[in-house]
Amino acid sequence: MQDEIRALEARRYDAMLRGDTETLAALLSDRAVYAHSDATRDSKAEYLASISSGGLRYLEVGHETETVLEAGPDAAAALGRMHARIIRNGAEKRIASLTLALWAREGGEWRLIAYQPTALKV
C-alpha cells in the first residue's frame, strides 16, 4: 500500500502541474474536500472548475511524501511537504506547506477524499 499511495500522490501533483483535470477528476472522490493554504476550501467540482477556468494554475510544484500511515486495508494518510508557484485569481504567489492527503478505496479504486495543507513561511 505504501508504494501505491506514494505513486498516487506523484500522479496527482503531476496532474496539478499540467492542469490535467481529467486525471484529477479520476483521482478525487466525488465527496472530496480540498483545502488550500489560504484557508479556503473547495469541493471536487469547485477545485476542478478553478483549474479549468485558469483561476488556479500551478506554474511549479515540488512535493515529497514523507510518511504513509495505513488505516486499515482501505484507507491511508499521506503526510509530506509541498512547495509551488501558482497563479490564483490573477495573482502569482509562492506557497509552501506541510500536507495531509487522505486516500480511501471507493468501488475498488483509490480516491483522494480530503487534502489539508498547513502553510509554512515562504
Global pTM value: 0.93
Supply the pLDDT for residue 121. Answer: 82
Enclosing domain of residue 63: 2-119
With cut-offs at 50, 70 and 90, classify the pLDDT of residue 89.
confident
CATH of the domain at 100: 3.10.450.50
Q: What is the pLDDT of residues 33-68, one digit of tens each?
A: 999 988 899 999 999 999 999 999 999 999 999 999
Asked if 66 contacts 79 with a C-beta cutoff of 8 angstroms, the reply is: yes
- If one counts the domains in the chain, the total is 1
